Structure 1
Amino acid sequence: MAQTITEKILARRAGRTDVEPGEIVMCKVDLAMANDVTAPAAVTAFNKIGAPRVWDRHKVALVASHFAPAKDIASAKLMTRMRAFAIEQEIEHFFDVGRGGIEHILLPEEALVLPGEIIIGADSHSCTYGALGCFSTGVGSTDLAAVLATGEIWLRVPESMKIVYSGRPGRWVVGKDLILSVIARIGDDGARYMAMEHTGEGIAHLSMDSRLTLTNMAIEAGAKSGIIPPDARTFGYIAERQEATGRHSELEPLHSDPDAAYAQTLEVDVDAIEPMIAKPSLPSRAVPVSEVERMKVDQVFIGSCTNARIEDLRIAAHVLGEEVVAPHVRLMVIPATQRVWQQANAEGLLERFAAAGAAVSTPTCGACLGAHMGVLGPGEVCLSTSNRNYVGRMGDPTAQVYLANPAVAMATAVAGAIVHPDEVRPDVIELEGALVG
């Protein structure tokens, strides 16, 4: 029976030869993740289950990310609870403040996510990890508690949507623009409970950083997961991360059969995609930047689990050049992880941002969810490299949030209004997997 990559992964972890969309299956989990917001509730549910120990302390990751560093007493209590559980259970992969960062960039970086695996995270953007050829999805804290106790989870096998990208990304176009264009085309529920499988020549040209951005936003189209079949670039990235971390595991990659059945197939001409921007207050309201009026902004945020990797910061620094941030603009630059922060610092990027007038922070999710480190006030306008721009997402309900890639974000910070990167940097260079201008 012909199977998609998602069906093959679920079948293997369910101990089956094949599965069909709509079936309920019990699958073994390779890694379970929670953060400082979701872990405390999971711990409460875990204690009610009555299991004395987690099923495998080597397959659990707990990350201080959302309110890190603790923004107030309430958030400090959440972190204290998660920290105590990690110590009590001797969790191997506990990433505290100063030792980790944003989980969806951290776990691939730490070589904790591999092709063919099932990754379950208590966070909606856990779909990110599918860029490495695994099945990954977000669940609530109660479901995660059951995984912690048993090492298994029940899943309804999703239908798959095949998205075939032809062509090559042009100037300033990266993974963020591809996924925004897809979401604009199919709508914010266009892939409801589907596995979005990204494939084709256009994907081959994307760096791993861009691919992780692509799968990160699958949930913004209502998808159960996002996945990219592993290729040479995937294996090279994993080998590099395994060498850097000393974590070496045998790979079990899977690929879709040529005659696998898909609920829907979408053709995307990457050559035709321009830098995109999502207007308030839905990612699906994305249009080319060239079609947006020169809107004055109060704040620009470069960060989040979507666009705070080293490639993103390099692109932003290239656009910045020797310019400075517009006087009326607050620019927040927040590297995703400690490793990204250190690499950006070693390359002189953080000093350049700071000298231009940016506030450079320790890794945190804070600004993205309107928790701290960049909360918006009444009526303010922000351009963000994050993944959500719902009403009230980053602060006051009357604030407006636009979403775009790091090049558009930095160009906007310099110009003081939403502009195409060409207005700031018309010259052209090639970064890994991305013609950035």
Structure 2
Amino acid sequence: MGMTITEKILAKASGRDKVNPGENIWLNVDVLMTHDVCGPPTIGIWKREFGNDAKIWDKDKLVIFPDHYIFTANPQANRNVNILREFAAEYNLPNYYDVGTDRYKGVCHIALAEEGYNVPGTVLFGTDSHTCTSGAFGMFSTGVGNTDAAFILGTGKIWEKVPESLKFTFEGELPPYLTAKDLILQVLGDITTDGGTYRALEFDGSAVFAMQMDERMTLTNMAIEAGAMNGIIAADKVTEDYVKARTNKPYELFYSDGDAKYRQKFVYDASKMEPLVAKPHSPDNKDTVRNVERTKLTKCYIGSCTGGKLSDFVNAAKLLFGNQVKVPTFVVPASTLVAKQLEEETISGVSLRQIFENAGCEIAQSSCAACLGGPMDTVGRATDGEVVISTTNRNFPGRMGSKKSEVYLASPYTVAASALTGVITDPRDFL
């Protein structure tokens, strides 16, 4: 019996020729990532458990991005960033990207890709559930808790169980009104938020490999919304071109064997799919946009590691060009590079930034911002009674702020179309 791509990568990281789902194995970690929310407790546990002689296993493999609660006056949030600064200075860390400096990058999951940390065939762990985003690069990546991260910080190793795999094949040509967000909402609606628990979600098919890296990252990003351990897409020329432009690190490509065993396989015809939303209060509460049309909105939000990449803003700008939004609409670039690209990328000679400004959108600084609520002064934060449509990844009660708000998840096309009408609107009405 052959192995899946996930099993092959884990076998390599464990120094074995073969692994099987359900086995517990020691893994050698290639990259550990943390941020301002989980970094401080991880550091605290590491210092406590490894003692006064604690040593970082490999400074070059530790990456720290402040990105969550950073543009705020909240003293607790600011304290967390200060802890990271002091730690980075104390240990002379080369890969600390401090806010308020020209090294600041923005949301960790996008910055990992942009800065060349995502390399095919490698193993990356992060103290954030959406670390699975990096799996779009043909690598194994997953989130861990602070204690596991502290152990990695001191040893470079982690004890993990090999997951079973689910395979999702999207064939056909993606219609011009659909994005990867619609595809992953379909998956979540089909298997629910616990259908992938501790499993690998492998994405395949002509519709997937026709996507650029931005869109592939949307698929793997929301694997965790199904409870998955990781999401993964095998590397191809698109992947290699992206990686080679950002790093000269050597890498190895892995592909699933034809006789690899999957717990379950799903096949979709992407050409026949419709724009979707996830209704409150769960990412698996799937419905078509047509079925919830005319739902009144108080706010639209385009941003996050899921929906704040360049391609997301290009798609939104296509609809917003020359038009005016009817409700407050927030544009939050996931990274400082994306923020710069908003000024450089144009449609009919007009920059994306100018298109958004002309349409009446509020453009915020690059960060996680209201994706996970945050302090009361967080830009775009949902308040009591609000109904929001967002390109983010979660819509549990209180996720974007008030527990008395409602959040619909959708693609950038759908959010932009809805911003123009003030009610949930199918993007096909504008495309």
Instruction: Answer whether TM exceeds 0.5 for this pair.
Output: yes
Task: State the TM bucket, normalised to the shorter chain.
Answer: over 0.9
Tell me the residue number matched to 1:79.
Answer: 81
Tell me the residue number matched to 1:431.
Answer: none
Listed as ranges, the matches of 1:16-415 within 5 Å are 16-50=16-50, 51-98=53-100, 99-240=104-245, 242=246, 247-326=247-326, 329-347=327-345, 348-371=351-374, 372-415=378-421
Work out whether residues 53 and 89 of structure 1, in 8 Å CA contact, stay in contact via their aligned partners in 2.
no
Counterpart CA distance in 1 for 2:300 and 2:72 is 23
Counterpart CA distance in 1 for 2:173 and 2:250 is 32
Work out whether residues 36 and 82 of structure 1, in 8 Å CA contact, stay in contact via their aligned partners in 2.
yes
Tell me the residue number matched to 2:348.
Answer: none
SS in 2 for 1:403: strand
Counterpart CA distance in 2 for 1:289 and 1:270 is 16
SS in 2 for 1:368: helix
Work out whether residues 46 and 54 of structure 2, in 8 Å CA contact, stay in contact via their aligned partners in 1.
no
CA deviation profile, 1:169-190 (whole Å, cap 9, x unmatched): 1121111111100110111111
Task: Give the fraction of aligned pairs with identical amino acids, expressed as a percent.
Answer: 41
> Which amino acid in 1 is paired with 2:413?
A
The 1:168–1:395 alpha-carbon spacing in structure 2 relative to 1, beyond 3 Å, is same
SS in 1 for 2:371: coil
Counterpart CA distance in 2 for 1:199 and 1:41 is 37
Counterpart CA distance in 1 for 2:160 and 2:405 is 38
Counterpart CA distance in 2 for 1:91 and 1:306 is 28
Which of 271-280 and 209-218 deviates more? 271-280
Could you tell me the TM-score, scaled by structure 1's length? 0.94
SS in 1 for 2:148: helix
Deviation for aligned residue 1:204: 1.4
SS in 1 for 2:306: coil
Which of 301-310 and 95-104 deviates more? 95-104
CA deviation profile, 1:208-244 (whole Å, cap 9, x unmatched): 111000000001111110000111111122123x2xx
Unaligned runs of 5+ in 1: 427-437
SS in 2 for 1:169: coil
Counterpart CA distance in 2 for 1:4 and 1:106 is 27
Counterpart CA distance in 1 for 2:73 and 2:288 is 36
Deviation for aligned residue 1:119: 0.4
Unaligned runs of 5+ in 2: 346-350
The 1:278–1:228 alpha-carbon spacing in structure 2 relative to 1, beyond 3 Å, is same
Work out whether residues 321 and 359 of structure 2, in 8 Å CA contact, stay in contact via their aligned partners in 1.
no
> Which amino acid in 2 is paired with 1:411?
A
Work out whether residues 122 and 251 of structure 2, in 8 Å CA contact, stay in contact via their aligned partners in 1.
no
> Which amino acid in 2 is paired with 1:346?
E
Counterpart CA distance in 1 for 2:360 and 2:75 is 30
Counterpart CA distance in 1 for 2:130 and 2:5 is 20
Task: Spell out structure 1 runs of 4+ moving beyond 3 A.
Answer: none
Deviation for aligned residue 1:336: 0.6
Work out whether residues 174 and 206 of structure 1, in 8 Å CA contact, stay in contact via their aligned partners in 2.
no
Work out whether residues 129 and 224 of structure 2, in 8 Å CA contact, stay in contact via their aligned partners in 1.
yes
Work out whether residues 115 and 132 of structure 1, in 8 Å CA contact, stay in contact via their aligned partners in 2.
yes
Could you tell me the TM-score, scaled by structure 2's length? 0.95
Work out whether residues 36 and 63 of structure 1, in 8 Å CA contact, stay in contact via their aligned partners in 2.
yes
Deviation for aligned residue 1:288: 1.6
Deviation for aligned residue 1:52: 2.6
> Which amino acid in 2 is paired with 1:416?
G
Counterpart CA distance in 2 for 1:115 and 1:300 is 35
Work out whether residues 25 and 154 of structure 1, in 8 Å CA contact, stay in contact via their aligned partners in 2.
yes
Deviation for aligned residue 1:163: 1.2
> Which amino acid in 1 is paired with 2:287?
V
Counterpart CA distance in 2 for 1:28 and 1:270 is 37
CA deviation profile, 1:25-69 (whole Å, cap 9, x unmatched): 000001000110000000100101225321111001101100122
CA deviation profile, 1:263-309 (whole Å, cap 9, x unmatched): 11111221121111110011101122112131111110100110111
SS in 1 for 2:244: helix
Work out whether residues 129 and 142 of structure 2, in 8 Å CA contact, stay in contact via their aligned partners in 1.
yes
Tell me the residue number matched to 1:435.
Answer: none
